[in-house]
Structure 1
Amino acid sequence: MMKNIQIIDGAINATYSIFQATESEYNIIFPDECDMELIEDLIARLGDDETNRVLAPLWERPILKRNAVGIHGTLFYDNDHRKSFIPQSKREVDWNEQTINQAQFDLFSRYR
């Protein structure tokens, strides 16, 4: 099964495109139940060459948002200003409760 990864970057067009990854590619990018990753951290973990090897196939697999059945992970580029807000666990369900609404808190609490 392919996993959908949304790219959040500093591009002026703000398209925040979605690309598909194989299960293996996804698990390399998002280890240990993570669903968020910063490109800087991915490069620090894998090195430049391995990061490029893992990501290269993704850029050949874009998917329209309207055709995506879910977003499984988010890869951040050019988002140093957001780094302090991203949960240390890099899991969506671990957002600081002061930054989410009650419905999100209730939902995320069931998955912590």
Structure 2
Amino acid sequence: MKNIQVIDGADNFVYDIFAATEEEFALIFPEGQDVAFIDEVITHGSERELDEAFTRIWKRRIPKRDAMGIHGILFYELAPKKQYYPTRRDEEAINPDGTRLR
């Protein structure tokens, strides 16, 4: 299983972590990527397959204290953040001026 942290634009969002199988993770994150934006995920996958995968994933919330790492970050309603993740890899995040964030 791989852990996905979900970050939403809602003011009351709590940044939950969910477990996904390797196959479910691959539906959301293309090979080599660990950052995804839901609008892009939806355009690249089968709607039925994604709906079924997310139905299963949402049942597997992991309390943060029990999470053994975060393998992917999934953004909802935060399209402006795309500019900071041009490669869709967290370790390659950049600042607004294009310099490396880390």
TM bucket by the smaller chain?
A: 0.7 to 0.9
Give the secondary-structure state (helix, strand or coil) at the position aligned to 2:13.
coil
**66-75 or 23-32, which deviates more:** 23-32
> Equivalences for 1:71-110 in 2 at 5 Å?
71-87=70-86, 89-96=87-94, 98=99, 100=101, 104=102
| Counterpart residue identity of residue 39, structure 2 | E
Match in the other structure for 1:66: 65
Structure 2's unaligned 5+ residue stretches are none
Q: Which has the higher helix share?
A: 1
CA distance in 2, matches of 1:11, 1:65: 19
| Counterpart residue identity of residue 73, structure 1 | G
How far the C-alpha of 1:73 sits from its partner, in A, is 0.1
CA distance in 2, matches of 1:42, 1:61: 19
Length-normalised TM-score, structure 2: 0.87
Match in the other structure for 1:10: 9
CA distance in 2, matches of 1:27, 1:51: 11
Structure 1's unaligned 5+ residue stretches are 105-112
Match in the other structure for 1:38: 37
Match in the other structure for 1:25: 24
Give the secondary-structure state (helix, strand or coil) at the position aligned to 1:75.
strand
How far the C-alpha of 1:24 sits from its partner, in A, is 1.1
Give the secondary-structure state (helix, strand or coil) at the position aligned to 2:88.
coil
How far the C-alpha of 1:14 sits from its partner, in A, is 2.7
Give the secondary-structure state (helix, strand or coil) at the position aligned to 1:6.
strand
How far the C-alpha of 1:93 sits from its partner, in A, is 2.3
Considering only aligned residues, what root-mean-square deviation do their CA atoms show, in Å?
Answer: 1.5
Based on CA coordinates, which of the two structures has the bigger radius of gyration?
1
| Counterpart residue identity of residue 22, structure 1 | T
How far the C-alpha of 1:47 sits from its partner, in A, is 4.0
